[in-house]
Amino acid sequence: MSNLRQEFIEFAVSAGVLRFGEFVTKAGRTSPYFFNAGLFSEGATLAQVARFYAQTLADAGIEYDMLFGPAYKGITLASATAVALAGMGRNVPFAFNRKEAKDHGEGGTIVGAKLQGKVVIIDDVISAGTSVRESVDMIRAAGATPCAVLIALDRMERSGKDDALSELSAVQEVAREYGMPVISIGNLNDLFEYISNGGDARLTQHKDAVAAYRTRYGV
Ligand SMILES: O=P(O)(O)OC[C@H]1O[C@H](OP(=O)(O)OP(=O)(O)O)[C@H](O)[C@@H]1O
Ligand SMILES: O=C(O)c1cc(=O)[nH]c(=O)[nH]1
């Protein structure tokens, strides 16, 4: 695990964003862990997670012109990442959508910079891929090109119902469908390594449950 990935998992745990126990995911699975990006709800933690996004994007070495954050959580994540990138000397425009179209003022559903050029979609997680697919449609409808997806945590789990699991995760399906990279700051392997290394004794008790979940659903 690279330092950045290790530091990210540690940070997400200490911020209370990555938790262990029993949680139900959007797909209805009972998961032994959950990543709730809505809990990056203070200036310092939002600034810190944005630095992780910005550094991961810089390290990926992809060419891009601007950022797009799908409502709602993607809005703060993309905005804060743009601030972090500016702090690293790269000033990029960003935009996001409204979930409901506005029929007065400037109208429409897109807020922020004009969607143009190569656009990186920034979100927290991908579950079924709906948010990314909607983002791709909005970006293309504006005449721009989605070029990558950047998420915080790749859960690395096969999509589909329990009795008909897909070979691929939703992340892999999105990457294949659109022929673009899906980059994550950290993933399930990083998380597992982190709780296994004994550095945080309170988390060791969750190791077996995470291992069993990974065996059942992991890609
Ligand atoms: O891959 P998907 O199946 O789309 O799931 C992932 C999306 O779901 C969550 O947002 P949600 O749609 O709950 O909206 P929110 O950001 O307004 O909470 C999450 O923040 C992603 O955007
Ligand atoms: O699959 C989900 O619903 C999901 C998992 C997770 O860890 N975090 C999240 O926001 N959604």
Longest dimension (CA), the chain: 56
Closest to 62 measured CA to CA, from 181, 196, 142, 206: 181
CA of 90 to the centre of ligand 2 (A): 30
Nearest atom (ligand 1) to Cα of 38: 18
Domain with 64 in it: 3-217
The verdict on the CB of residue 211 being under 6 Å from ligand 1 is: no
Closest to 148 measured CA to CA, from 86, 83, 65: 65
**Is 104 an active-site residue?**
yes
Which residues does 216 contact at the CB level (< 8 Å), separation at least 6? none
Nearest atom (ligand 1) to Cα of 27: 3
The residue annotated as part of the active site, out of 102, 118, 161, 207, is 102
- Predicted local confidence at residue 103, as pLDDT: 80
The residue annotated as part of the active site, out of 104, 114, 161, 206, is 104
Q: How many domains does the chain have?
A: 1
- Predicted local confidence at residue 2, as pLDDT: 65
Contact 81, 53 (CB under 8 A): yes
CA of 91 to the centre of ligand 2 (A): 30
DSSP assigned state of 175: H
CATH assignment at residue 163: 3.40.50.2020
CA of 11 to the centre of ligand 2 (A): 18
The verdict on the CB of residue 200 being under 6 Å from ligand 1 is: no
ipTM greater than 0.90, yes or no? yes
Closest to 217 measured CA to CA, from 1, 29, 18: 29
Closest to 187 measured CA to CA, from 212, 153, 217: 153
Tell me which residues of the chain have a pLDDT lower than 50: 1
- Predicted local confidence at residue 72, as pLDDT: 97
